[in-house]
């Protein structure tokens, strides 16, 4: 092999990478091969693959365009690396959810929608017209009543209006119409109403004018009413401004108010189908395009198995290929009409994979960020086939991954470590999966150790019965959930695990608290410290040491950098492209102004503390239990590698869930302890290295030994193997799932051939 400082066409060569925690990393990644980059959480995997290789490839591609185009593309700084060679065009397939666009569905996101429209435009009877006539995003095909959205939004007048108040008192329960503001002045000075009379005393005509007047010419307005303007009623004005043409950017407060004041219901004209009558009436073999889209992927594939028509044979073949690809990544339970914004990060990533599979381009570098997230071991095997298919098409596939099944099929493995954060950032191993298993790295030792099934399970203190479980696809089964032990709820993606544990169990037994992966409020303005409730304590400590007010140590208040307003970066909006964030030049990304940064506590500024991990911060505030104890829980749930000031919008779903778990456990330990705690966790190991999963297993065991009851929805076999009780739901996804397959100890489940989970457990116990 050539020295690493010289180019080699057969590899992507990285020399001296120093992004984030990388410590002068040099590595060769073979081209046209499947390479898995692994290591403990926070070891530098993403820094190497995403922030160095992928970032530089994208920057170079953007720089190849003419200046006119470059000025309209994101401007990305060069990554911290001495040199790189062998880069090709790079496609990043990460776990970012699809944006909240109501006009995007699984069909549009997977590129199957145009083929569906083509089939119906050619052979549908009676024909509605060309392909656009079958699109709910085109005026020729959309339902005119809901404009292709499937739902209609209107104002809840009873919630909006306080009839006890008069105009001067502010009868409209919406801040944009409060007394004194512009929209209030429109009806206060229109001259139509007695401003001192409560709305409940209005005549029917006055009430109708106040609410529903539309561009009315006023006979005698107050001089303060805008000249040449016409009068709109409150509801009319709200429909025009906030319903029909909802602003692209509104404050969180206004958003919450609108959610309270508006009602969403299925469009009465199309029944939620989004299409107009002509498109809905056009049938192929007795079914409309609406029927095809409403079926699950698996069901539609069965329908098309024996259906053929030579007039649209190529389109049908393309539809089948896409459906097969969706099935192969475990998404057979999705319907094509499901809004893409409702997909989880893992589901969205798999849809993106499907979209790339049909590409005619070769010699692409595909970068995947933990594609096995949320997948059952049976689905991971099918995911592997797709990764290998991309490689065999002449592409380079780089995968950031922890899952042993994905590591086993790699051509090449790079193991980062040895630890997380400042203790990571080094290449610990390069070679084949077999060589990794024989190495002395943490990953190698865990891969080579067979899974141990719990043989002696804890005895429960009792049971609660879930009767007639029927949420979503559940088939109405009865099952007992043991108290005082760890129960794992298993099954393939879409089988009904979360429907049972997250929906049905807490509904029937309200003493169970669900700690799920729902989005946390706060985004860039919030962080782990604030979620844990210790941010005020940290600011108070700095205030006591400096003599300044606590507000000076908040980037949302007096301490904020004036240039970036405490964000640490400047955001540039690029219209139809994603917004671009660049570090703030004034504060260097610190988020604070000079006054705040001058103050120190034991030699650390507030910005220093926010960059630190939970362990060091807990040591810094060891004399303040109210700060230190919650941070120690952050370490125990496996988030010891994250910075305590990391913005919430940069955390994965699994990280946010573990953060919520730390908050919950911190509060419980400070009050009643864990004897009566009954907690439901939804895939808490998402994004964790096997060594971090072992740490979580220890935490679960300690909680159960302290008296807690844990019900964990999980695919990770390490968690399932250590459970006392397993509830397995399946056998398949969607309509093929929802049935109780097994309830009992994991060792017994491993002997069940009729369970995909059982077979996976048995295989893992045999080979590690």
What's 450-486 look like in SS3? CCCCCCCCCCCCEEEEEEEECCCCCCCEEEEEEECCE
> For position 20, what pLDDT does the model report?
84
Q: Which CATH class is domain 152-266?
A: mainly alpha
Residue keyed to tokens 């099918």: 382
Q: Which residue intervals of the chain bear CATH 1.10.8.280?
A: 152-266
Residue 366's nearest CA partner among 353, 354, 385 is 353
First to last CA, the chain: 33
- Are 738 and 475 a contacting pair, CB within 8 Å? yes
pLDDT at 1 (0 to 100): 41
Q: What is the largest CA-CA distance in the chain?
A: 90
Q: Is the pLDDT of residue 639 over 80?
A: yes
Q: In sequence order, what are the residues at sequence separation of 6 or more whose Cβ sits closer than 8 angstroms to the Cβ of residue 323?
A: 112, 297, 300, 301, 304
Rounded to an integer, the average pLDDT of 260-289 is: 93
pLDDT at residue number 74: 62
Beta bridge partners of 265: 152
**Tens digits of per-residue pLDDT, 354-413?**
888 767 778 999 999 888 887 888 888 888 988 998 999 999 999 999 889 999 999 999
H-helix segments, 304-422:
313-328, 345-357, 377-392, 404-408
Burial class for 540, CB neighbours closer than 10 Å (0-12, 13-18, 19+): middle
Quickly name the fold that domain 11-97+344-448 has: Rossmann fold (3.40.50)
Assign a CATH topology to domain 523-650.
Answer: ABC transporter ATPase like fold (1.20.1580)
Q: What is the mean pLDDT of residues 642-655?
A: 80
For a pLDDT cut of 90, what percent of the chain falls above it? Answer: 54
pLDDT (0 to 100) of residue 139:
93
Backbone angles phi, psi at 81, to 5 degrees: -155, 145
SS3 content of the chain, % helix, strand, coil (to 5): 40, 15, 40
- Of 516, 518, 511, 520, nearest to 497 by C-alpha is 516
Segment 105-148, tens digit of pLDDT: 999 989 899 999 999 999 999 999 999 999 999 999 999 988 89
Tens digit of each residue's pLDDT (9 = 90 or more) over 665-674:
888 887 667 8
Query: 634: left (phi > 0), else alpha (psi -120 to 50), else beta?
Result: alpha
The mean pLDDT value for 267-287 works out to 94
- What pLDDT is attached to residue 458? 94
Q: Residue 576: what pLDDT?
A: 42
452-511+676-768 CATH fold: Rossmann fold (3.40.50)
pLDDT at 176 over 50: yes
Give per-residue pLDDT as tens, 616-628.
999 999 999 999 9
Lowest mean pLDDT among 422-436, 546-560, 575-589, 709-723: 575-589
Quote the mean pLDDT of the chain. Answer: 88
Q: Which CATH number fits domain 106-150+270-341: 3.30.70.2740, 3.40.1160.10, 2.160.10.10, 1.20.1580.10?
A: 1.20.1580.10
> What pLDDT shows up at residue 575?
44
Check whether 751 has a pLDDT greater than 60: yes
- What is the arithmetic mean of pLDDT over 167-191? 91
Question: Which residues are bridge partners to 155 per DSSP?
Answer: 262
List beta partners, residue 710. Answer: 486, 679
Q: How confident is the model at residue 572 (pLDDT cuts 50, 70, 90)?
A: low
Q: Is the pLDDT of residue 578 over 70?
A: no
Instruction: Locate CATH 1.20.1580.10 in the chain.
Output: 106-150+270-341, 523-650
Interatomic CA distance for residues 757 and 713, integer angstroms:
13
CA gyration radius, the chain: 29
Structure tokens at 765: 């116990």
Nearest CA to 538 among 592, 591, 607, 595? 607
Mean pLDDT throughout 242-257?
Answer: 74
pLDDT tens per residue, range 510-519:
999 988 766 6
Query: Has residue 592 got a pLDDT over 80?
Result: yes
Q: Which of 486, 491, 517 is nearest to 502 (CA)?
A: 517
Per-residue confidence (pLDDT) for residue 577, from 0 to 100 = 47
Q: What is the percent of the chain with per-residue pLDDT over 70, rounded to a whole number?
A: 94
Judged against a pLDDT cut of 90, whether residue 711 lies above it is answered with yes
- pLDDT above 60 (res 768): no
For the cut 90, the answer to whether the pLDDT of residue 463 exceeds it is: yes
């Amino acid at each position: 092999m050539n020295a690493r400082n010289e180019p080699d066409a057969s590899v992507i060569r990285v020399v001296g990478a120093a992004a984030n925690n990388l410590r002068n990393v040099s590595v060769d990644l073979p081209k046209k091969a499947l390479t898995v980059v692994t290591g403990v959480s926070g070891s530098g995997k993403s820094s190497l693959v995403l922030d160095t290789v992928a970032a530089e490839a994208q920057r170079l591609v953007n720089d190849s365009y003419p200046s006119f185009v470059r000025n309209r593309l994101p401007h990305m700084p060069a990554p911290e690396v001495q040199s790189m060679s062998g880069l090709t065009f790079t496609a990043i397939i990460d776990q970012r959810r699809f944006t909240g666009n109501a006009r995007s569905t699984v069909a549009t996101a997977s590129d199957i929608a145009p083929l569906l429209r083509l089939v119906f435009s050619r052979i549908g009877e009676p024909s509605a017209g060309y392909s656009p006539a079958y699109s709910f995003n085109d005026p020729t095909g959309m339902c005119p009543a809901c404009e292709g959205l499937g739902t209609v939004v209107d104002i809840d007048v009873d919630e909006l209006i306080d009839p006890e108040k008069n105009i001067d008192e502010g009868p409209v329960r919406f801040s944009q119409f409060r007394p004194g503001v512009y929209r209030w002045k429109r009806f206060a000075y229109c001259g139509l109403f007695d401003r001192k009379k409560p709305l409940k005393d209005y005549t029917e005509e006055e009430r109708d004018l106040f609410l529903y007047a539309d561009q009315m010419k006023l006979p005698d307005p107050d001089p303060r009413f805008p000249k040449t303007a016409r009068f709109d009623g409150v509801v009319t004005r709200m429909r025009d401004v906030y319903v029909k043409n909802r602003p692209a950017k509104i404050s969180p407060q206004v958003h919450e108010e609108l959610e309270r004041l508006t009602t969403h219901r299925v469009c009465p004209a199309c029944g939620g189908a989004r299409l107009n009558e002509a498109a809905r009436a056009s049938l192929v073999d007795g079914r409309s395009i609406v029927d095809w889209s409403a079926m699950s992927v698996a069901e539609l594939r069965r329908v098309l198995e024996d259906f053929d028509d030579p007039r649209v044979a190529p389109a049908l073949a393309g539809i089948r290929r896409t459906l097969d690809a969706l099935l192969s990544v475990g998404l057979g339970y999705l319907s094509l009409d499901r809004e893409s914004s409702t997909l989880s990060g893992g589901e969205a990533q798999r849809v993106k994979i499907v979209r790339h599979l049909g590409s005619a381009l070769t010699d692409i570098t595909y970068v995947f960020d933990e594609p096995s997230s949320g997948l059952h071991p049976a689905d991971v095997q099918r995911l592997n086939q797709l990764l290998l298919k991309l490689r065999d098409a002449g592409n380079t596939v780089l995968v950031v991954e922890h899952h042993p099944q994905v590591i086993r099929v790699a051509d090449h493995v790079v193991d980062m470590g040895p630890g997380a954060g400042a203790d990571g950032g080094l290449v610990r191993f390069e070679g084949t999966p077999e060589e990794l298993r024989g190495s002395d790295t943490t990953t190698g030792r865990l891969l080579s150790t067979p899974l141990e099934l719990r043989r002696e399970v804890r005895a429960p203190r009792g049971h609660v019965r879930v009767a007639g479980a029927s949420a979503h696809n559940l088939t109405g089964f009865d099952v007992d959930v043991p108290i005082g032990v760890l129960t794992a709820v298993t099954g393939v993606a879409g089988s009904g695990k979360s429907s049972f544990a997250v929906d049905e169990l807490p509904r029937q037994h309200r003493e169970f608290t669900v700690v799920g992966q729902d989005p946390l409020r706060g985004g860039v303005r919030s962080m782990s410290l604030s979620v844990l409730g210790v941010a005020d304590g940290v600011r108070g400590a700095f205030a006591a040491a400096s003599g300044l007010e606590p507000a000076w140590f908040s980037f949302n208040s007096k301490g904020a950098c004036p240039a970036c307003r405490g964000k640490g970066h400047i955001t540039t909006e690029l219209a139809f492209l994603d917004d671009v964030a660049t570090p703030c030049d004034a504060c260097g990304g610190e988020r604070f102004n000079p006054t705040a940064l001058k103050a120190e506590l034991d030699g650390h500024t507030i910005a220093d503390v926010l960059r630190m991990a939970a362990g060091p911060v807990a040591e810094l505030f060891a004399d303040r239990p109210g700060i230190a104890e919650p941070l120690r829980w952050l370490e125990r749930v496996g988030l010891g590698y994250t910075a305590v000031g990391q913005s919430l919008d940069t955390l994965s779903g699994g990280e946010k869930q573990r953060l919520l778990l730390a908050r919950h456990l911190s509060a419980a330990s400070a009050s009643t302890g864990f004897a009566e705690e009954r907690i439901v966790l939804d895939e808490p190991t998402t994004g964790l290295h096997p060594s971090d999963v072992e740490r979580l297993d220890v935490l679960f065991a300690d909680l159960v030994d302290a008296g807690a009851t844990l019900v964990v929805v999980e695919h990770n076999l390490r968690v399932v193997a250590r459970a006392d009780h397993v509830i397995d739901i399946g056998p398949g996804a969607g309509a093929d799932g929802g049935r109780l397959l097994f309830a009992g100890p994991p060792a017994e489940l491993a002997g069940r051939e009729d369970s995909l989970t059982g077979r996976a457990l048995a295989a893992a116990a045999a080979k590690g």
